[in-house]
Chains A and B, each alone.
Chain A
Amino acid sequence: NAGVMQNPRHLVRRRGQEARLRCSPMKGHSHVYWYRQLPEEGLKFMVYLQKENIIDESGMPKERFSAEFPKEGPSILRIQQVVRGDSAAYFCASSPGTDTYNEQFFGPGTRLTVL
């Protein structure tokens, strides 16, 4: 029973390039969350998605960042025209449903370095 998968684990980009981070939720999970961890800080919520729907993107920067969770395939966090301040660890989590409490299961993260 594979856990949450993220790839790549490490990603290096030059300023101005695009970064694509992928997240495959646990089997049977239809809810995906993305968090960002800046150096020396805790994880910060970015966006919550269900299949083909963005439910809450209140934590996403207004520009250059987008996320999707298509009907088929992994969830994608896309960062256009990356800047040095985007260097961080990006974690994806998934959960099964809509109960009052849904445990979030985390992936190993993608560490993005912008040169």
Chain B
Amino acid sequence: AQSVTQLDSQVPVFEEAPVELRCNYSSSVSVYLFWYVQYPNQGLQLLLKYLSGSTLVESINGFEAEFNKSQTSFHLRKPSVHISDTAEYFCAVSDRGDYKLSFGAGTTVTVRA
């Protein structure tokens, strides 16, 4: 099973500043990579995913993540955050073709004005 490490448990950031959330996973075998976001009192929502192809993937609300196979990383970035980005963010990994997701412990992003 994969092991997923999110290096930052809490990330406070000012509105319109950039943010980067780090994610590393344990294995270099073929993987699918995901970022989920959880807003207060809601379920996890898929933010973006890497299945194959371009190593840079983007979401519709300005987030992007880059798959780095050599560093086994899938860091999430946004150049300018909004108050509404305040949420908990989970990195998840599955071996290619496997349904089991392995999650990191989550990073809480708090955006302040």
Interface size counted on chain A using CB atoms at 8 A: 29
Query: Do A106 and B100 have beta carbons less than 8 Å apart?
Result: no
Query: Do B99 and A106 have beta carbons less than 8 Å apart?
Result: no
Interface size counted on chain B using CB atoms at 8 A: 24
Chain B minimum-CB-distance residue to A103: B46
Query: Which residues in B have their C-beta under 8 angstroms from that of A93?
Result: 44
Taking the closest CB of chain A, its distance from the CB of B36, in whole angstroms, is 7
Q: A42-B4, A43-B90 are in contact. Are A104 and B101 (CB under 8 A)?
A: yes
A91 within 8 A of B: yes
A101 to B94, CA, bound (A): 10
A69 within 8 A of B: no
Interface string of B100-113 (1 = CB under 8 A from A): 11111110000000
Q: A41-B105, A42-B90, A42-B104 are in contact. Are A100 and B97 (CB under 8 A)?
A: yes
Query: Do A101 and B51 have beta carbons less than 8 Å apart?
Result: yes
Query: Which residues in B have their C-beta under 8 angstroms from that of A33?
Result: 99
Query: Which residues in B have their C-beta under 8 angstroms from that of A59?
Result: 100
Taking the closest CB of chain B, its distance from the CB of A77, in whole angstroms, is 16
Query: Do A42 and B46 have beta carbons less than 8 Å apart?
Result: no
A86 to B84, CA, bound (A): 33
Query: Do B4 and A108 have beta carbons less than 8 Å apart?
Result: no
Q: Which residues of B contact A (CB under 8 A)?
A: 4, 6, 9, 32, 36, 41-46, 49, 51, 90, 92, 97, 99-106
Which 6 residue pairs of A and B lie closest in terms of their CB atoms, listed nearest first? Answer: A42-B103, A106-B44, A43-B103, A106-B43, A108-B43, A45-B100
Q: Which residues of A contact B (CB under 8 A)?
A: 3-4, 6, 31, 33, 35, 37, 40-45, 48, 56, 59, 91, 93, 95, 100-109
Q: Please name 27 pairs of A and B residues whose Cβ atoms are closer than 8 Å in the assembled complex, sorted by A.
A: A3-B43, A4-B43, A6-B43, A35-B103, A37-B103, A40-B105, A41-B105, A42-B4, A42-B90, A42-B92, A42-B103, A42-B104, A43-B92, A43-B101, A45-B102, A48-B99, A48-B100, A59-B100, A91-B43, A95-B99, A100-B97, A102-B99, A103-B46, A105-B43, A105-B46, A108-B41, A108-B42
